[in-house]
Structures are given as structure tokens and as C-alpha cells.
């Protein structure tokens, strides 16, 4: 797990310089209601489900970092503990 976290930190630090790269796929399981609401939201917003998930995830990460601090720094601190 430690190596995976260190690799993720390296990727974040490297890719911060090159934003907009969509290379990774993360599968997520939704409850049926949530998945269908995502489809409806995509239709209403004239967007793809993937674009919505990217936007929502990015916003959640920004909100988390605003409240708790930089994720890379938090991960490095957790590795030291």
C-alpha cells in the first residue's frame, strides 16, 4: 500500500504541470436510483455521465482540500505515522 500511495503522490506532482490528461479509468458501483439520477442529470445538463462524474469528483476533492489541506501533504504525513 505504501508504494501505491507514493506512486500516486508522484503522479499528482507530475500531472499538476500537465492538467487535462485523461488516462485512468476508475469503475464505480452505483445504487440503481443513483445511477438513474446520474443519467437524468446528464440528459438535463446535456453532458456525458463521465464528464459529470469528473466534475463532481474534482469539486469534492477541492472542497476536501479546502477544509483539510493539501492531499499530497496529508498523505505524506499519514505515511510517516
> DSSP assignment of 13-37, as one string?
HHHTSSTT-----------HHHHHH
Q: Specify the pLDDT at position 20.
A: 66
Give the number of other CB atoms < 10 A from CB of residue 71.
14
Q: Specify the pLDDT at position 28.
A: 87
Give me the phi and psi of 53, to 5 degrees please. Answer: -65, -40
Cα three-residue angle 7-13-14, rounded to 5 degrees = 90
23 pLDDT exceeds 80? Answer: no
The pLDDT tens digits of the residues spanning 25-80 come to 788 899 999 999 999 999 999 999 999 999 999 999 999 999 999 999 999 999 99
Q: Specify the pLDDT at position 49.
A: 94
18 pLDDT exceeds 80? Answer: no
Amino acid at each position: 500500500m505504501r508504494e501505491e500511495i507514493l506512486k500516486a503522490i508522484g503522479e499528482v506532482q507530475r500531472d499538476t504541470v500537465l492538467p487535462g490528461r485523461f488516462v485512468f479509468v476508475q469503475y464505480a458501483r452505483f445504487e440503481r436510483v443513483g445511477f438513474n439520477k446520474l443519467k437524468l442529470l446528464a440528459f438535463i445538463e446535456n453532458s456525458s455521465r463521465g464528464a459529470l462524474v469528473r466534475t463532481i469528483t474534482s469539486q469534492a476533492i477541492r472542497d476536501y482540500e479546502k477544509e483539510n489541506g493539501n492531499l499530497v501533504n496529508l498523505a505524506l504525513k499519514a505515511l510517516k505515522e
